[in-house]
Structure 1
Amino acid sequence: MSIDITTDLMPELQEFMKEKGFKTFTDVQLKAYKAMGETHDLRILAPTGSGKTLSYVLPMVQYIKNIEWDSLPPGSPVAIVLAPTRELATQITKVFKEVAHHAKIRVRQLEGGAKGPQNKRLKIQPFDVLIANPGRLLEWVQRGDIKLEQLQFLIADEADQLIAPSFLREFEKIGKILEKHQAKIALYSATEPTVLDELIAKVFPNRQFESVIVGGANMLQKGIDTFNIYVGTRQKVDVTELFIKKEASGSGIIFLNRKEDAVTLMDKLKEIFPAKKFTLLHGDMTQGERKKNFEKYRTTGGILIATDIAARGIDLQQLDWVLNYDLPFEAVYYVHRCGRVGRMGKDGRIYNLVSGKDGLIINRINKAIGEQTALKIKALEVPEIKAQQKAHIAKKKSKASAIPEKKKTRPQVKQKRTPRYKRK
């Protein structure tokens, strides 16, 4: 199928594409554009950075404009997009509003808490598209503030995350509510299709889903070079310092598994590099702090030090590299972390600090993405660190030789004594 931007899209969307410099659709946009116009529900699997957001934004906006829902009652959206994190929801809202600037549709994001001025307007003003997380949407639907009678589309972005216990119960309740409605459902993911199959079986057992697959499961974009840096666990800070001095050109993200380690590394790097820009992002921050820090990083660039909260769906066009200070525990998170670079065909670099304890993890990751011909995993040698390792080994050997060998002595067996009450 061939879709021509200049003829198949309405003039308002053509203006948007021209403004953004998009001359053609990506593979997932081509396939989803046609599929979104058909009646069946969809499970869509495509690599990170392949243009998934626009693949549902463009056909949905075109549908809304063609119908011209002028008489929508307040709190009755035509389309709802679910996202597992606030950061992803904000990013999706941003894309919708960029398109809405040309198409003149009404887009709202359901924020955390019900008392904010933005949320109050949802109750009294009509709108076309709502972006929310499952828990907040369920709360508003159950309370009657959001009504689903006009709903035509429900999109779940990063749907593989919604099978986690923190989301699944709420999403199951949303699925039961949707049994009364005929809305088209599309589940998007960049990871294993079996996860989506499990989600469908639990939440939408009575619906039939057609598959749209671009690339494959756990795929990274072309143009990404990956380097493994083999280090000792205690050398990670030193290696990161050398990495920033010699390799970290442009803007990037350093990913860690634990927020405590992220805070510690942030403090150390700010002390070592007082002139560089560092930003911190982790799950224990309030929504206000996370939003402030994320917008600061989006504006100023530099280096973002983050846990996996920043790995899901965040679109940062200026990113040049990702450093996995800690390897994630699952290949799924590796794909989402590394998907922050190489977006929309741009080049990118991934660096992994691999210590002795990471053998099983790196093997699982390599197996999960092993069929990718575009992924080039290389060992990046750091001379200073190799010298440190040799010196450390030599020091251990010299210490071992300096310790006098102990003479072997026969252990003395003490005479067993009989308790007094047992004596005759």
Structure 2
Amino acid sequence: MLFENLNIIEPILKALKTEGYTSPTPIQEGAIPAILKGNDLEGCAQTGTGKTAAFAIPILQLLYSKQKALKGPRNIKALILAPTRELAIQIGESFTSYGKYTGLKNTVIFGGVSQRAQTNALRAGVDILIATPGRLLDLMHQKYISLEHIELAVLDEADRMLDMGLGHDVKKIIAKLPSSRQTMLFSATMPKEISKLIESILIKPVKIEVTPVSSTIDTIKQAVYFVEKRNKKSLLLHLLKDKSIESVLVFSKTKHGANKITGDLVKAGIEAEAIHGNKSQNARQRALTNFKEKKIRVLVATDIAARGIDIEKLSLVINFDLPDVPETYVHRIGRTGRARAEGIAISFCDREERDCLRSIEKTISKSISVIKEHPYLV
């Protein structure tokens, strides 16, 4: 299957070729035709399966086909809600890449920064708005944004939004949307709360589930190192002696832990930066950009970065701390092995984390290989 087989228009095909995309992933193969036909859509797919393109491509095509008939100022016709700033920015970059030859305009709004640049972009006219719920409601309240012309709406990472306590804000926003809209909801997991949300906002949706809930991608090689908590830093430095490891995303359970790991790495002469909720938006984006551009070798993150961050050709994820919630493990390691590429996920497990490891293995329905050849084996 090629993108040409999905009846995608030439301006978007041209952009996809520029990006090096030729074959759609399963979620794209299922979602793009359904959305182009005007269906509401319920998509369940784990991170790293190409969900953004699955809704961005058909939205661009649907709006492109109508824009020539529209006159006057641009009104917001498509709204994409995302749980975090980082994911919103990533979605915006995807719309810009896929829509570069369509003439359609998108902008991204999120909190934590001055609203001036965002409101200036809105005044200039926007076709597609990507937003986090809090800043969207704020700018709606200030009368900078009207949702009355919305034709297409997307809730991305819906389960994450509910986990973050954004459910009330999401419902407020949905209540302001036209009833005649086309709606798409994407989620990595389908708990009862999401099922209720789907029933309340989607009309006869096409359901697409391309991977089992809470499963991990087969192209990711997973391994665990049993190590005492006090030796985790030494083990990390030991692994990073391998110069062939060019870029590593390290996950810490806490913000303080992320800062400490980063400090230890820098002291050892390894370029590293941290990204977590206490960092300003500018600092977070700068660290992420430095990592993507290979200016730093290691990015240390809390779970704020576990979803939606698309780092091209990231070969290694290290769980310095195992997460308490097994599904979080799936999202973390999904930063590697994206778009069918191979990846490696390594986890450090101390004595207190053995129960977490067992819960993870039960959730993903597989045993994780134990690496015994290291100097800090328990």
In the superposition, the TM-score normalised over structure 1's length comes to 0.83
Contact 2:184 2:202 in 1 (8 A): no
Q: 1:197 aligns with which of 187, 195, 198?
A: 195
What is the CA–CA distance in structure 2 between the aligned matches of 1:182 and 1:346, rounded to whole Å?
Answer: 39
SS in 2 for 1:288: helix
Q: Is the CA contact (8 Å cut-off) linking 1:327 and 1:334 kept in structure 2?
A: yes
RMSD: 2.1
| 1:195 CA displacement | 4.8
Task: Please say if residues 41 and 202 of structure 2, whose CA atoms lie closer than 8 Å, have aligned partners that are also in contact.
Answer: no
CA-to-aligned-CA distance 1:70-125 (integer Å, 9 cap, x gap): 42545x31111111111111111111111221222111112435642332231x22
Query: C-alpha separation between the residues in 2 aligned to 1:315 and 1:380?
Result: 28
Are the aligned partners of 1:83 and 1:89 in contact in 2 as well (CA < 8 Å)?
yes
Give the Cα separation in 2 of the matches to 1:263 and 1:218: 29
* Aligned counterparts of 1:299 and 1:354: Cα–Cα separation in 2: 30
Spell out, residue by residue over 1:240-285, the C-alpha distance to the aligned partner (whole angstroms, 9 max, x if none): 121212487121111001111111111111112x1x3212111100
Residue 285 of structure 2: aligned partner: 291
Task: Give 2:336's aligned residue.
Answer: 341
Q: Cα 1:114–1:307, aligned 2, differ >3 Å: closer, same or farther?
A: closer
Q: How does 1:116-195 map to 2 (within 5 A)?
A: 116-122=116-122, 124-164=123-163, 166-178=165-177, 180-192=178-190, 194-195=192-193
Answer yes or no: is the 8 Å Cα contact 1:229–1:353 preserved in 2.
Answer: yes
2:234 paired with 1:238:
yes
Q: CA deviation at 1:6?
A: 6.0
Code of the residue aligned with 1:190 in structure 2: it is A
Contact 2:276–2:304 (CA under 8 A) maintained in structure 1: yes
> What is the correspondence of 1:5-44 to structure 2 with a 5 Å cutoff?
5=4, 8-44=7-43
- Higher mean alpha-carbon deviation, 204-213 vs 340-349, is at 204-213
Matches of 2:312 and 2:30 in 1, distance apart? 23
Change (3 A) 1:152 1:338: same
Equivalent-residue separation in structure 2 for 1:358 and 1:46 (angstroms): 28
* 162-171 or 287-296, larger mean C-alpha shift: 162-171
The letter of the residue matching 1:5 is E
Moved more, 206-215 or 304-313: 206-215
Look up the equivalent residue of 1:189 and give its one-letter code: S
Q: What does residue 320 of structure 1 align with?
A: 315
> In 2, distance between residues paired with 1:190 and 1:299?
28
Contact 2:47 2:307 in 1 (8 A): no
One-letter identity of the residue aligned with 1:117: A
1:409 paired residue number: none
Distance (Å, rounded) in 2 between the aligned partners of 1:341 and 1:195: 28
Matches within 5 A, 1:255-274: 255-272=251-268, 274=269
Render the CA deviation track for 1:184-210: whole Å, top value 9, x for unaligned: 111111224545214436xx3685544
2:271 paired with 1:277: yes
Percent of aligned pairs with the same amino acid: 27
**Inter-partner Cα distance in structure 2 for 1:207 and 1:11:** 30
Q: Which residue of 1 aligns with 2:212?
A: 216
Deviation at 1:145, TM superposition (A): 2.0
Query: How many pairs align?
Result: 375
Once the 2 structures are TM-superposed, how far is the Cα of residue 129 of structure 1 from its aligned partner? 0.4
Instruction: Give the aligned residue type for 1:118.
Output: Q
Say which SS state the counterpart of residue 249 (structure 2) adopts: strand
The 1:384/1:322 distance shift into structure 2, 3 A limit, reads: same
Q: Partner of 2:265: helix, strand, or coil? A: helix
SS in 2 for 1:385: coil
CA contact (8 A) 2:110 2:136 kept: no
Q: Cα deviations across residues 208-246 of structure 1 (Å, max 9, x unaligned)?
A: 544211111112222110001011121111111212124
**1:310 pairs with one of 305, 314, 320:** 305
The CA distance in 2 between the partners of 1:294 and 1:159, in whole Å, is 23
Segments of 5+ residues of structure 1 without an aligned counterpart are: 390-424
| Inter-partner Cα distance in structure 1 for 2:262 and 2:307 | 21
Partner of 1:367: 362
Work out which of the two has the higher radius of gyration on C-alpha atoms and give 1 or 2: 1
| 2:188 maps to amino acid | A
User: For residues 129 and 257 of structure 1, what CA distance do their matches in structure 2 show?
Assistant: 35
Verify the 8 A CA contact 1:327 1:361 in the aligned structure 2.
yes
**Partners of 2:110 and 2:134 within 8 A in 1:** no
Counterpart-to-counterpart distance in 2, 1:4 and 1:225: 29
